[in-house]
């Protein structure tokens, strides 16, 4: 798949897949960013990406982000739509500092990864009902009846 990409700071490398089996590529942070304790901040990812038609780009935290940096992504997953690629549409990673100290993300760090996924847009067909209910509602498959004595 060929993807149109623009770097804000061309002195930093393009995102890359770190292994031949990697599903996601790593974003490279563009500048030092300090996140205060408990605060939510945006870390610049240095790229504008034109997502191909029929795809979305997911922005996900790297698995070590919370353990190594004390940062979490408060929205869990960022979704980059195919029409988000204008001249000011740099991809940012939203993070929250869950520590009691300021956390610094240094220029060139890899704190998030991108993953292209196929998507379809729904064509709604409104109905009056869905017939007889076959499950017990929200949380109905989570019963721990096996553990009960």
Between 45 and 141, the higher pLDDT residue? 45
pTM for the full model? Answer: 0.84
Question: Is a pLDDT exceeding 70 seen at residue 118?
Answer: yes
Question: Is a pLDDT exceeding 60 seen at residue 149?
Answer: no
Structure confidence by residue, pLDDT tens digits, 9-44: 999 999 999 999 999 999 999 999 999 999 999 999
CATH architecture of 4-121: Distorted Sandwich (2.70)
Structure confidence by residue, pLDDT tens digits, 47-98: 999 999 999 999 999 999 999 999 999 988 999 999 999 999 999 999 999 9
Distance of CA 12 to CAs 2, 30, 59, 66, 75, Å?
A: 20, 8, 19, 24, 27
Domain spans of the chain, in order of start? 4-121
């Amino acid at each position: 798949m060929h993807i149109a990409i623009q770097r804000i700071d061309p002195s930093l490398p393009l995102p890359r897949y770190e292994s031949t089996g990697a599903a996601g590529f790593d974003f490279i942070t563009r500048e030092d960013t300090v996140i205060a304790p408990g605060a939510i901040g945006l870390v610049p990812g240095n790229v504008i990406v034109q997502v191909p038609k029929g795809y979305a780009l997911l922005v996900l935290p790297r698995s070590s982000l919370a353990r190594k940096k004390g940062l979490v992504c408060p929205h869990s997953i960022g979704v980059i739509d195919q029409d988000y690629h204008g001249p000011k549409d740099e991809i940012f990673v939203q993070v929250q500092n869950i520590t009691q100290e300021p956390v610094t993300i240094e220029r060139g760090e890899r704190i998030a990864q991108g993953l292209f996924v196929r998507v379809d847009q729904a064509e709604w067909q409104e109905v009056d009902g869905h017939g007889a209910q076959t499950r017990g509602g929200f949380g109905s498959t989570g019963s721990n009846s096996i553990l009960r004595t």
